[in-house]
Amino acid sequence: MTTNSVTIFHNVVWSRHKGVVFSALHTISTAGAIKYSIVQISDTEHFRLGFSDVDYSYHRYPMRKLFNGCYEDVPVWRMTYRLVMEVFRAKADLVVLPGYHRPEYWAMLLVCILTGKRRAVFCDSTGRDRPHRILTSIPKRVFFSLCDGYFGFGERSREYLMSLGAKRDRIFIPCQAAALPWSFAPESALDDRLRFRAGQDPVFLFVGRLSAEKGVEALLDAFAAVRQQVPEAKLRIVGTGPLGDQLKQRVADEGLGASVCFVGSLQDEGLSREYFGATCLVLPSISEPWGLVVNEALNHGCPAVVSDNCGCVPELVIDGVTGYAFAPGDGASLRRTLLKALEAFADTGETAKHCMSVIQRFDPPTAASNIARGCAVMLTS
């Protein structure tokens, strides 16, 4: 049996979700005809500092890391040289590139072409997340035209790739799954959800970076309006970011301190408790390629109210079943949707069952199998 080899480059170890997918891919490879080598470029990125730690326990596969610390701290010339040499030396039939938006990735693509290696690329963008602009769409079209395949998060990334010239049968989705805490037990999740929600007031939950693109200010506007009709409602905000102090000051100035709680950064069991205890997650992002927090919430039986710009909407957000989508940037739409969610998801148990049923097929083994399927197609055609 002929054995093919694939080298996958990924930008940061910080991404737990990629760690569990690559771990599942490694498990698949032990019994298959394709062997995978994973190269992590660095530990983390600047904007992720303070949000959550780098946790190597989620990376249960052989890997090499090229640089310690933050990706941005490595000079571009040094990064480019190292990645070019890695591709040049790789004994791989297929190289999977980490993206297309940095000059070093273009250099890697060029080396693949010169050395005759097949190449694929991860794409996490959507048309809603990255609207077409002539000056940027032309280079993307060129990059994608020179690749043999593409790995995306979901249908919206497929649509985006096709709009830039990629062939449908070379796009493999979904390649996305949440990295749940090691303590998370699916068999007891429903009971935990019921226990944490029993007798509690309505609780809206935000989990993410406190930055402009996440739409937290619009959420505060909508929550203040909801509270006029549901005075017992609470909002819990998990995360840190550049807007943290500004948002806290605004909450204080508007007298919302008793209803809005800034929890800070949470991981693992602490974050699980927030999902179990919330009526619904709210993700009002202006820009969101997918929205992994929605995966996490649904695994905990917690429905989600999300901006329609979020990439996960077609797959994960089923109106009145697992959540609702609302028009991004429309505060009135968000307010109405939050009120609708309180009514639609009043039956905690039934809602949790629906959420857990929908999210079942978005697990690491399934995401890994989609990557493996894509690699097999590219290697045999």
Asked whether residue 138 falls in the same domain as residue 158, the answer is yes
Structure tokens at 149: 């395949």
Asked whether residue 159 falls in the same domain as residue 232, the answer is no
Decide: 138 and 159 in contact? Cβ < 8 Å: no
Asked whether residue 11 falls in the same domain as residue 156, the answer is yes
pLDDT at 283: 98
pTM of the model: 0.95
Asked whether residue 137 falls in the same domain as residue 16, the answer is yes
Q: What is the DSSP string of 102-149?
A: SHHHHHHHHHHHHHT-EEEEEE---TTTS---HHHHHHHHHHHHT-SE
Cα–Cα separations (whole angstroms), residue 89 to 4, 83, 117: 16, 10, 11
Q: For a pLDDT cut of 90, what percent of the chain falls above it? A: 90
Asked whether residue 124 falls in the same domain as residue 198, the answer is no
pLDDT at 205: 98
Q: How confident is the model at residue 48 (pLDDT cuts 50, 70, 90)?
A: confident
Decide: 11 and 47 in contact? Cβ < 8 Å: no
Asked whether residue 198 falls in the same domain as residue 76, the answer is no
Asked whether residue 221 falls in the same domain as residue 276, the answer is yes
User: Amino acid letter at 62?
Assistant: P
Q: What is the mean pLDDT of residues 263-274?
A: 95
pLDDT tens figures, 171-218: 999 988 999 999 999 999 999 999 999 999 999 999 999 999 999 999
> What total number of domains does the chain contain?
2
Asked whether residue 340 falls in the same domain as residue 301, the answer is yes
Asked whether residue 155 falls in the same domain as residue 14, the answer is yes
Asked whether residue 92 falls in the same domain as residue 226, the answer is no
Asked whether residue 226 falls in the same domain as residue 173, the answer is no
Domain that holds residue 253: 186-359
Cα–Cα separations (whole angstroms), residue 9 to 106, 156, 194, 272, 327: 13, 23, 41, 30, 36
Asked whether residue 61 falls in the same domain as residue 142, the answer is yes
Cα–Cα separations (whole angstroms), residue 297 to 12, 275, 291, 305, 333: 24, 6, 10, 11, 22
Specify the CATH number for the domain of residue 242: 3.40.50.2000
